[in-house]
Chain A
Amino acid sequence: MLLQEAVMNSTFQLVPLVVLLPLLGILLNWLFGKRLGEKGIGAIASLATGGSFVVSVLLALALLQNHEGAQIPLFTWISIGTLDLSWAFRVDTLSVTMMLVVSGVGSLIHIYSIGYMHEDVRHQGEPERFRRFFIFLNLFIAAMMILVSADNFLMLFVGWEGVGLCSYLLIGFWFEKGEGGLGNAKAAKKAFIVNRIGDFGLLIAIFLIFWNFGTLNFNEVFAMVPAVAGSQPEILMVITLFMLLGVTGKSAQIPLYVWLPDAMAGPTPVSALIHAATMVTAGVYLMVRSQVMYMAAPATQEVVAWVGALTALFAGLIALGQFDIKKVLAYSTISQLGFMVAAVGLGAEVAAMFHLITHAFFKALLFLSAGSVILGMEHGLEAGQKGHSGHTEGKHHDDPQDMRNMGAIRKKMPVTFVVYLIGALALAGIAPFAGFFSKDEILVAANQGNTAIFVILVAAAFLTAFYMGRQVLMVFFGDARTNAAKHAKESSLLVTIPLMILALLSVFGGALNLPGLHTLEHWLEETLIITHPAEFIVPIAVGSLVVALVAILLAYLFYGRKPLADSKAADPLAKRLGILFRWMNQKFMVDEFYQAVVIGPYHKLADFFANPIDQGLIDGVVNGLGTLTTSFAGVLRKLQTGFARTYALSIFAGLILILVYVLTRI
């Protein structure tokens, strides 16, 4: 028994490796990357992340024996007065769950990226940038691991900022490409700045926590929550609201979701890893971790639930009107994140975590498959016409990512078609795929909590199924509408094998929390307080299934029976919905609204401070001082006349003054 305990304890000590292995990968790739070649770089990066996954599995196994977990401090970071922060890793069921998801999906995406980036750097014409991509990917894994294994809020914030940085670096990976040579860089900048606004909220929340609790350590803070809630209930509401602001930034909820669709400018593995599976879930993780605080502030929980539900519906509507294959998936991500956030707001944290895990599986799958399709289209473009054109918006006829240019891809890329179909069904919530069970749990919680939110979430689920059906039918069925689609080619094994693994996970992922067994719930029980134990209410389950099937049928009626004739044909939905479809396509002009209301006036303000105030006033004062000194010196210069007689006169004057002094003194 002691030996077992010793083994468990020593296994817990391995937790720093989840961060250190990716960092080691960065170091090796940085120093030796050029000599190793593409396969070597990809192997090192994938092994680093795979190593993190192995360590996470070991930690999970150790946790099975020893349910409470441990806190493994590494070193003391800040020790000022009463604030004592150490760089400590927390091993408990919640953090290990996140570690498994991040490193597992991350490793698969690393392997996928070897094949994908091999094609992409050649398509963009910069083969030397291969190494940089993997360094950034490993950096991201390291930062995300810091985030999920943190034992105090500040360390979590370090990871939070780190993933934001990596998101910026990876979105703007092809920084000199994109529309007008600036598009990708602008998208990266937008992501960073919008995230910053959210981070500001989180930072205020951390300050308030420190101010009111005196510590930032999770255990200590959560232990003190009842006391603080008793003495000052409003402060918890304020803290949780500010935290919500941070979550809306990182997890792309209303109002700070606008960066995520633009982030599709990055390479597809980036969209899959960061913007589908891992980084955007950091917000959900934060709220689940701070569950105790949210339970003590029921008003905020209401707000959280409404924010999530409205985002789910709004994003679903926008996804319906998009033509870019990745944009549809991006808005779908926002919508699903809305589901998760709503679940947290309703008090069903286990449902949120369950949906987080399954969503990671099938959304990563969908993104990676979309990447495979895009690769095929790019091949087709190069084969069909000599000379290539990159992804430029506006000239959609040549755009390899525009769904209107695709069609009948299933004949050219069968493997991709199958896995994509699996992912789409899982997302739509068709039993027995993973998405069905996780979405169903959320709907049950909504039904028990708030009927209005339940209705909104059901509508969002309907939209999910509809737009996924639309997408599958437009891309894979019908006839090939352009030359590119005619000449598309299946992707290499390096690309398709991770897709198959993810497809398997999407099929069987529901087993994590099957009704009756509730493995995940029991697993997370150790760390979380389960207020809403999951129940399998048959009417709701059957109802959601029916809703999804009806949506798919509707999609078939619109897009399957009479597929689009060619790439320039109008969307059949456009005729039915008219102006509403145009709004959905234009994302309800939220970006333009922000530009007019926030960014435009801000630019004017900055301009005002720069020119009249900085250049005019401050420079004027500084230069004025200089001019004043010069003119004063010019005046004083006139004293030096050169005539000896004036000097004699001044001596005489001094003599007179001395005499006056002597006269008055004595």
Chain B
Amino acid sequence: MPVIGTIFYVFLAIVAIGSALGMLINRNAIYSALFLVLNFATIAVLYLALGAPFIALSQITVYAGAIMVLFLFVITLLGAEKLPGYEPIKAHRLAAIGMALVFLVELALFFFIRNQTTGPVPFLSAEFGSPKNIGVVMFTEYLLPFEVVAFILLSATVGAIMLTKPERKAKTNLSHQQD
């Protein structure tokens, strides 16, 4: 059992990392978006394995279903041209990759060496992160953030509309009321 589990997890990891790299490297924006969708799906499966079904399905619905679709719409709207491959800023690529490696080493140090007590992640059933349980916690402890998020979404909606409204000519007579 554990061996199959390990193989399963390793396979998922490879797919996730591979799709991320694909998104990074691909010159065509649409291909990058599609790779990202694959990544999201993989992560959703991982969530399932970690006992968070609600979150997993939210991931598919919101991220892959809404956000990436929005991305694809905008890409096609803006005409995703192929930008030239050369790097205009000197030594930028080299510096970035070097610093990324350093970053990885640091994170490795953090996670593997500074972390004193670690054990395996327990395998929880789907009952743990079920919508019912999430709903109970959400609407009791975290009610306020929930309402605030609603406001955020409202403001995002309004903002998106305001930002993309076409310009209109100024009105000729403006009468200002006196306070």
Instruction: Find out whether A and B make contact in their complex, taking CB atoms under 8 A apart as touching.
Output: yes
Residues of A at the B interface (CB closer than 8 Å) are 641, 643, 645-646, 649, 652-653, 655-656, 659-660, 663, 666
A519 to B: closest C-beta gap in Å? 105
Q: Does B127 contact A (CB under 8 A)?
A: no
Q: Are A656 and B103 in contact (CB under 8 A)?
A: yes
Say whether A659 contacts B89, CB under 8 Å.
Answer: no
Whether the Cβ atoms of B89 and A656 lie closer than 8 Å is: no
Verify if B86 is at the interface (C-beta below 8 Å from A): no
Quick check: B99 and A656 within 8 Å, CB to CB? yes
Q: Count of chain B residues with Cβ under 8 Å from any Cβ of A?
A: 12
Assembly CA distance A666 to B89 (angstroms): 37
- In the complex the two chains form, what is the Cα distance from A649 to B92 in whole Å? 8
Could you tell me the distance in whole angstroms from the C-beta of A663 to the nearest C-beta in chain B? 6
CA distance A641 to B102 in the complex (A): 24
Interface residues of B in 92-108 (CB under 8 A from A): 92, 95-96, 99, 102-103, 106-107
Bound-state Cα–Cα, A431 to B72, Å? 133
A578 to chain B, nearest CB (A): 91
Check if B89 sits within 8 Å of A643, measured CB to CB. yes
Is there a chain A Cβ closer than 8 Å to B110's Cβ?
Answer: yes
Hey, which bits of chain B sit against chain A, CB under 8 A? 89, 92, 95-96, 99, 102-103, 106-107, 109-110, 114
| Interface contact A659-B99, CB-CB below 8 Å | no
> How many A-B pairs fall under 8 Å by CB?
29
The interface residues of chain A lying within 8 Å CB-to-CB of B110 are 659, 663
* Cβ A649 vs Cβ B99 within 8 A: yes
Q: How far is the CB of A648 from chain B (nearest CB, A)?
A: 9
- Would you call B92 and A645 a contact (CB within 8 A)? yes
Residues A663 and B89 in contact in the complex (CB < 8 Å), given A649-B99, A656-B102, A656-B103: no
C-alpha spacing A329/B96, complex, angstroms: 96
Contact present for B89 and A645 (CB under 8 Å): yes
- What are the residues of chain B within 8 A of A659 when measuring CB–CB? 103, 106-107, 110
Q: Which of B96, B106, B114 is close to A649, meaning CB atoms less than 8 Å apart?
A: B96
Residue of B nearest to A658 (CB): B106
Nearest-CB residue, chain A, relative to B88: A643
A656 touches B106 (CB 8 A): yes
Asked whether, in the complex, the Cβ of A663 is within 8 Å of the Cβ of B92, the reply is no
Whether B103 pairs with A649 at a CB distance below 8 angstroms is no
Q: List residues of chain A with CB within 8 A of the CB of B102.
A: 656
- Interface of chain A, main secondary structure: helix
Q: Which of B95, B99, B106 contacts A663 (CB 8 A)?
A: B106
The CA-CA distance from A641 to B92 in the complex, in Å, is: 12
- Chain B residue nearest to A643 in the complex (CB): B89
Q: Which of B95, B107, B114 contacts A666 (CB 8 A)?
A: B114
Complex Cα gap A656–B92 (Å): 17
Residues of B within 8 A of A652 (CB): 96, 99, 103
- Report Cα–Cα, A475/B110, bound state, in Å: 115
Pair B95/A649 contact, Cβ less than 8 Å = yes
Q: Let me know if B99 and A653 touch, CB within 8 A.
A: yes
Determine which residue in A652, A655, A666 has the highest number of CB atoms from chain B within 10 A of its CB, and name it: A652
**Residue numbers in A under 8 Å from B106 (CB-CB):** 656, 659-660, 663
A364 to B93, CA, bound (A): 99
Q: Which residues of A contact B89 (CB under 8 A)?
A: 641, 643, 645-646
Given known contacts A641-B89, A646-B89, A663-B110, what 16 new A-B pairs fall within 8 Å (CB)? A643-B89, A645-B89, A645-B92, A646-B92, A649-B95, A652-B96, A652-B99, A652-B103, A655-B103, A656-B99, A656-B103, A656-B106, A659-B106, A659-B110, A663-B114, A666-B114
Question: Could you show 28 A-B contacts with beta carbons less than 8 Å apart?
Answer: A641-B89, A643-B89, A645-B89, A645-B92, A646-B89, A646-B92, A649-B92, A649-B95, A649-B96, A649-B99, A652-B96, A652-B99, A652-B103, A653-B99, A655-B103, A656-B99, A656-B103, A656-B106, A659-B103, A659-B106, A659-B107, A659-B110, A660-B106, A663-B106, A663-B109, A663-B110, A663-B114, A666-B114
Q: Which residues of B contact A646 (CB under 8 A)?
A: 89, 92
Quick one: closest A residue to B100, CB to CB?
A652
Least CB distance, B105 to chain A, in whole angstroms: 10
Provide the residues of chain B in CB contact with A643, threshold 8 Å: 89
Q: How far is the CA of A641 from the CA of B91 in the complex (A)?
A: 14
Q: Which residue of A lies closest to B109 (CB)?
A: A663
Q: A residues within 8 A CB of B109?
A: 663
Instruction: Kindly provide the distance from the CB of A664 to the nearest chain B CB, expressed in whole angstroms.
Output: 10
State the CA gap A649–B94 with chains docked (Å): 11
A646→B95 CA distance, assembly (Å) = 10
7 closest A-B pairs by beta carbon, nearest first, are A659-B106, A656-B103, A656-B102, A652-B99, A643-B89, A656-B99, A649-B96
A649: B residues at CB distance < 8 A: 92, 95-96, 99
CA distance A649 to B106 in the complex (A): 17
> Nearest B residue to A641 by beta-carbon distance?
B89
A643 and B106 alpha carbons, distance in the complex (Å): 27
Taking the nearest CB of chain A, how far is it from the CB of B114, in angstroms? 7
Task: Report the minimum CB–CB distance from A124 to chain B (whole Å).
Answer: 80
Taken together as a complex, chains A and B put the C-alpha atoms of A660 and B107 apart, in Å, by: 10
Whole-angstrom CA separation of A641 from B95 in the bound complex = 16
A666 to B109, CA, bound (A): 12
Residues of A within 8 A of B96 (CB): 649, 652
Complex Cα distance A660/B114, Å? 13
Nearest residue in B to A648 (C-beta to C-beta)? B96
In angstroms, Cα B162 to Cα A14, docked, is 98
Q: Please give the distance in Å from A490's CB to the nearest CB on chain B.
A: 100
**A227 CB → nearest B CB, Å:** 84
| A650 vs B29: C-alpha distance when bound (angstroms) | 26
- How far is B89's CA from A659's CA once the two chains are assembled, in angstroms? 26
Across-interface contacts of A655 in B (CB, < 8 A)? 103
| Chain A residues positioned under 8 Å from B99 (CB to CB) | 649, 652-653, 656
Q: How far is the CA of A191 from the CA of B89 in the complex (A)?
A: 75
Task: Look across to chain A and name the residue whose beta carbon is closest to the beta carbon of B110.
Answer: A663
CA separation between A659 and B105, bound complex, in Å?
Answer: 11
Residues of the B chain whose Cβ atoms lie less than 8 Å from the Cβ of A656 = 99, 102-103, 106
Q: Which residues of the other chain, A, contact B114 by a CB distance below 8 angstroms? A: 663, 666
| Cα distance, A656 to B103, chains bound together (Å) | 6
* Closest B residue, CB atoms, query A655: B103
